[in-house]
Amino acid sequence: MDAEDLRDIFRGLGPVQIRRMFGGQGVYQGELMFALVASDELYLKVDDESIGFFRDLGSRPFAYETRDGRKSIMSYWLMPESALDDPDEAAQLANMALAAARRAKSAQPRKGGKAAPRRSARKKASEPVT
């Protein structure tokens, strides 16, 4: 699946960017990755709110084998075959994936952690301590 195919599938969503990653491709809208292509299959981001919908469609998660032989399952589920040719269905599923990506991003701690507690001004050495 090439970048033009992906742009065509998601044309109902608006502009998307395609970036190469780990032998596959990530599909972004703005800074949010909502889909990934691996082994020529298209997967959409899911979370606790949307996973049941994809499960009911008969979808399956993206999984890969790690170097130590364990199986790793990610939060991306296979896009139904029917949506590849139906821009309305693709846009509906992509919007669900974008919502899951937004929720995941808002749940992440902000970079830099908490702000340092504010310190009171130091007293001059000549001032008495109270």
Domain ranges of the chain: 3-106
pTM: 0.79
Domain 3-106 is classified in which CATH homologous superfamily?
A: YgaC/TfoX-N like chaperone (3.30.1460.30)
The CA distance from 97 to 95, in Å, is 5
The three-point CA angle 74-34-102 to 5° equals 100
Q: Which tokens is 91 given?
A: 């846009």
Q: Tens place of pLDDT for every residue, the chain, 130 residues?
A: 889 999 999 988 889 999 998 889 999 999 999 999 999 999 999 999 999 999 999 999 999 888 999 998 899 999 999 999 898 999 999 999 999 999 999 887 766 655 444 444 444 555 555 5
Across the strands, what pairs with 90?
Answer: none
